[in-house]
């Protein structure tokens, strides 16, 4: 890792990002100062665009795509180790793991750019000062996002909000809680300076409420429950967002561009209308289709879908747990069929048979699913035989706001009517039998409420990249990642047989990531996290 984040000029940083090359072409290729190449509103927009693209809205890099990140958790299996997610899930991470250097360098390199651009935001000539202030606030919001991620994964890290040079680049780490105190305070000012509504173009850029939603997420992740509940309530009371009536339509072309549920957007404009690859990454191989099954659901996720009546499958009087395991669609929460497909389901008009070696979806094929399941989310058959798609994705949607309010109130042991309504609204939209699934019908202890909420969050947001953060912050990774990753279950000669994908392990020190050995050599102010 090079300490680019501290000493590189904005020009060098921009030139280095080839994914934005055509977007960042400048009038003067020989420019060597801000005054020469950073002087108009369009320049500001390009900087903001590239700051989103290279980390948060990259449409083709599986190491960065949000829908790949369930492969870090008990929800899914990621088959390609080069994508980094599998190394995190199987417990083999150490101080020489490539992912540690990759993500650390990526975030810090971009923060170095952002510090420089924010410091020089006064240079571009913009007739309307409010426009410049908006772009500056967006850049500041992106910097906050980077620090939220860094502190979540690594804990104590260096913290700087201004450009650094060779003399000031080497800094000791600052305690995580101290950084968070600063970030949450700064975020209030940033939100105030952002526009209240998103624009008709550049909708992926932060507006006041999408940024508040991001801060809400990390307030919850960091046990700032009063702040999380307050921000969630402000978003609810704004009436700017709503649950889309049909859950499954959010994750294909039926409603991906028209719903009012997506708050933080990964839309086509955010990556210059380049092709999206969710079919390639998630779908089954089908004849000459391009599905690669790079990340696929596990049995643990399938079994977590409760019944149509909102009960765990081992606590339902209608059927046995074994009957539910053998038939995942039996009397199940409708979100299962809208999120996952597997053996016996139809795909592109053909029945999936994971046990037939002549079927392209045979579970031992390289491009098939080792679990026998695939995500249906973000897999639209319209993309089956073309090189890419044009899908819009949610980085954060309104359902998460409702679940966040409910969880924060549960953790505060202040479970009010709105918290119960939030859970009921999610369940009702999903299509559960509310004569039984209505959460107001029975009294629960705080721990029972938390268990219900945790599972509701898991299945509502399955395949959307949040499960790893959830099991880390709930401190349950030692429970759920110390079990083998399993797949489809069937009866063979009267015996129940389940596909085994891999063994996994999780050690207590792995709640934080390691600093890579090369990072420690060039940044002596850092100290390795315990256990590595």
Buried b (16+ CB within 10 A) or exposed e, 116-145: bbbebbebbebeeeeebebbbbbbbbbbbb
Angle between helices 208-221 and 225-238 (to 10 degrees): 150
pLDDT at 525: 85
The string of pLDDT tens digits covering residues 316-367 is 999 999 999 999 999 999 999 999 999 999 998 889 999 999 988 999 998 9
Tokens representing residue 103 in the block: 């993500």
Strands 76-78 and 295-297: antiparallel
The string of pLDDT tens digits covering residues 365-412 is 989 999 999 999 999 999 998 989 999 999 999 999 999 999 999 999
Tokens representing residue 422 in the block: 């939030």
CA distance 439 to 456: 12
pTM above 0.85, yes or no: yes
The string of pLDDT tens digits covering residues 19-46 is 443 434 444 444 456 566 788 899 999 9
> Please, what is the average pLDDT of the chain?
92
Which whole-number Å values give the CA distances from 482 to 77, 293, 511, in the listed order? Answer: 14, 24, 13
The string of pLDDT tens digits covering residues 230-245 is 999 999 999 999 999 9
CA distance 266 to 396: 9
The string of pLDDT tens digits covering residues 485-497 is 999 999 999 999 9
CA distance 64 to 85: 10
Phi, psi of 2 (to 5 degrees): -105, 150
């Amino acid at each position: 890792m090079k300490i680019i984040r501290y000493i590189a000029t904005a020009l060098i940083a921009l030139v280095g990002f080839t994914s934005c090359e055509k977007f960042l072409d400048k009038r003067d290729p020989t420019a060597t100062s801000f005054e020469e190449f950073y002087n108009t509103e369009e320049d500001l927009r390009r900087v903001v665009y590239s700051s989103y693209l290279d980390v948060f809205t990259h449409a083709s890099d599986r190491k960065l795509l949000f829908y790949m990140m369930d492969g870090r958790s008990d929800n899914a299996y990621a088959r390609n180790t080069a994508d980094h997610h599998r190394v995190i899930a199987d417990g083999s991470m150490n101080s020489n793991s490539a992912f540690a250097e990759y993500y650390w360098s990526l975030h810090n390199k971009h923060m170095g750019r952002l510090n420089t651009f924010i410091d020089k935001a006064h240079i571009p000539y913009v007739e309307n000062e409010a426009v410049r202030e908006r772009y500056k606030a967006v850049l500041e919001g992106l910097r906050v996002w980077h620090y939220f991620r860094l502190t979540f994964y690594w804990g104590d890290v260096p913290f700087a909000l201004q450009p650094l040079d060779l003399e000031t680049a080497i800094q000791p780490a600052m305690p995580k809680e101290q950084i968070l105190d600063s970030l949450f305070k700064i975020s209030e000012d940033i939100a105030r300076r952002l526009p209240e509504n998103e624009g008709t173009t550049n909708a992926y850029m932060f507006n006041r409420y999408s940024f508040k939603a991001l801060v809400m997420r990390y307030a919850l992740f960091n046990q700032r429950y009063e702040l999380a509940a307050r921000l969630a309530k402000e978003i609810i009371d704004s009436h700017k967002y709503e649950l889309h009536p049909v859950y499954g339509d959010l994750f294909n072309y039926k409603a991906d561009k028209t719903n009012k549920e997506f708050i933080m957007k990964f839309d086509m404009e955010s990556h210059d209308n380049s092709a999206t690859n969710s079919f390639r990454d998630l779908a089954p191989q089908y004849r000459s289709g391009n599905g690669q099954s790079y990340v696929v659901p596990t049995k643990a996720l399938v079994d977590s879908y409760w019944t149509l009546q909102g009960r765990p499958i081992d606590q339902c009087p209608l059927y046995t747990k074994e009957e539910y395991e053998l038939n995942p669609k039996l009397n199940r929460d409708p979100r299962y069929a809208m999120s996952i497909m597997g053996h016996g389901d139809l795909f592109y008009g053909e029945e999936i048979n994971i046990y037939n070696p002549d079927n392209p979806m045979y579970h031992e094929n390289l491009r098939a699913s080792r679990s026998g399941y695939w995500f249906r989310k973000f897999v639209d058959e319209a993309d089956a035989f073309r090189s890419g798609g044009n899908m819009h994705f949610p980085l954060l949607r309104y359902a998460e706001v409702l679940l966040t309010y409910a969880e924060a109130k549960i953790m505060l042991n202040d479970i009010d009517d709105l918290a119960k309504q939030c859970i009921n609204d999610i369940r009702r939209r999903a299509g559960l039998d509310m004569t039984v699934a209505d959460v107001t019908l029975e009294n629960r202890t705080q721990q029972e409420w938390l268990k219900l909420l945790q599972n509701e969050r898991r299945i509502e947001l399955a395949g959307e990249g949040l499960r790893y953060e959830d099991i880390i912050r709930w401190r349950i990774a030692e429970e759920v990642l110390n079990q083998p990753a399993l797949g489809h279950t069937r009866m063979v000669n009267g015996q129940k047989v389940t596909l085994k994908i891999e063994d996994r392990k999780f050690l207590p020190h792995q709640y934080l990531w390691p600093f890579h050995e090369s990072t420690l050599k060039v940044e002596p102010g850092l100290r390795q996290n315990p256990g590595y």
